[in-house]
Amino acid sequence: MPQVLTRELVRFAPHDGAHRPALRCAISVAVPMLTLLVAGRIDLVGAAAFGAFTAIFARDLTAPARSAVQAVCGLGLTASVALGVAAAHLPAAPWGALLVVIAVAAVATVAGEMIAWKPRGPLFFVFAAGAFAGSAPMPAGWGVQAVATTAATALFAVLVGSACRLLPSHSPLRRPLVVTGFREALARRPVTDIVVACLLTVPLTVALGTEHHYWALVAAVVPLTVAGTTGQVVRAVMRIGGTVAGLAVAAALLAPDLPTWGVVLVVIVLQGLAELLVLRNYAVALLFITPLALLVSHLTHPGPAGALLLDRLLSTSIGVVVALLVLGVRITTERYRRAPDPAP
């Protein structure tokens, strides 16, 4: 395992035209965010960021299949934001809101197994639902605007992805869409692992007093979306190590107290760099993913940078520990089942 981890930390997967999806993602987040900046609606930047996540999906599919999968994911992200906005009004905070986020994780996991979207798993849907479910309840009118902003940004991302087939450099040599039946998808391992991990993470993150509970849920989900037990352990270690390094980058970006327009420009650049590297080397990509999440959070809910950085570290640690615990229990159970029965 140490040799595998060391190799994965330094290995970069082939470029494979990664600049194209990175450019699509940058455009998908830049236009809506700059529009909101000009309109003076910074409060809706978070909703636009989640809608722009639509562009991340299905980079390995043919253009028509990619548009179809991105449309489904855009609807899912919009629904996740809507559920998060509604969940923020539930009583017995934060338990009611967190149960809604767990339900989103379960549904998104099954849907992802059916459509086989990539990046695999419910990560972005949990992120979208949790960000709004964990915030203070907002007026109904603002909630409608947030959902509409997410939907409009998601639609824009789908259009950007569809327009790429008009470019001379577009390559149609990608895999077609393959859909799996509901029962088969429901029976797959990630569904059980992710739901169990979320159910274990919630009481831990509440008991330890983290402010951004959904960050712990995201960290618990990430390792379990990778294929193979070894790959999952490696991803868990990468998540915590890359987050620590990314926090240093985030601290450097938060220290100068950049103006709002400067933060928006940095977020756009970070989104493009994250997508450029995420499939090539996940640990290095976290150098950009971590400050991206923190800058968006700081932009929409300003607060002390030190507390924000510490909460990210604690939340990520909780999620990764839970993911490793779930993996350990599963490995032990599978070994016990494979062990031969003792002779009578």
Pick 176 or 151 by higher pLDDT.
Answer: 151
Instruction: Give the pLDDT score at 309.
Output: 96
Question: Once rounded to an integer, what is the mean pLDDT over residues 275-300?
Answer: 91
Instruction: Give the pLDDT score at 125.
Output: 96
Query: Residue 33 contacts by C-beta under 8 Å, 6 or more apart in sequence?
Result: 45, 48, 49, 52, 264, 267, 268
Residue 337 in this model has a pLDDT that exceeds 60: yes
Instruction: Give the pLDDT score at 335.
Output: 78
Contact 77, 132 (CB under 8 A): no
SS3 helix, strand, coil % of the chain, rounded to 5? 75, 0, 25
**pLDDT tens track for 259-270:** 999 999 999 999
Instruction: Give the pLDDT score at 332.
Output: 87
- Rounded CA gap, 104 and 126, in Å? 6
Strands (DSSP E) found in 104-251: none
Per-position DSSP letters for 245-291, written without gaps between them:
HHHHHHHHHHTT---HHHHHHHHHHHHHHHHHHTTT-HHHHHHHHHH
Q: 218 pLDDT band (50/70/90 cuts)? A: very high
Task: State the first-to-last Cα distance of the chain, in angstroms, to the nearest integer.
Answer: 37
Instruction: Give the pLDDT score at 171.
Output: 52
Residue 214's closest CA among 222, 227, 286, 56?
A: 222
Residue 306 in this model has a pLDDT that exceeds 70: yes
What share of the chain in percent tops pLDDT 90? Answer: 63
Least confident of 111-115, 149-153, 300-304, 320-324: 300-304
Q: 21 pLDDT band (50/70/90 cuts)? A: confident
Q: 165 pLDDT band (50/70/90 cuts)? A: low
- Rounded CA gap, 244 and 225, in Å? 21
AA identity, residue 98:
L
Most confident of 173-187, 209-223, 289-303: 209-223
Question: Once rounded to an integer, what is the mean pLDDT over residues 162-170?
Answer: 62
Instruction: Give the pLDDT score at 166.
Output: 59
Which DSSP state fits 175? Answer: B
**pLDDT tens track for 176-204:** 777 788 888 877 778 889 999 999 999 99
Question: Once rounded to an integer, what is the mean pLDDT over residues 104-115?
Answer: 93
Q: 55 pLDDT band (50/70/90 cuts)? A: very high
Residue 170 in this model has a pLDDT that exceeds 60: no
Question: Once rounded to an integer, what is the mean pLDDT over residues 82-95?
Answer: 92
Pick 270 or 1 by higher pLDDT.
Answer: 270
Residue 344 in this model has a pLDDT that exceeds 60: no
- Rounded CA gap, 55 and 34, in Å? 17
Q: Is 207 left (phi over 0), alpha (psi -120 to 50) or beta?
A: alpha
Q: 174 pLDDT band (50/70/90 cuts)? A: low
Q: Which residues pair with 135 in a beta bridge?
A: none
Instruction: Give the pLDDT score at 66.
Output: 87
Least confident of 168-172, 240-244, 281-285: 168-172
Average pLDDT, the chain: 89
pTM of the complete model: 0.91
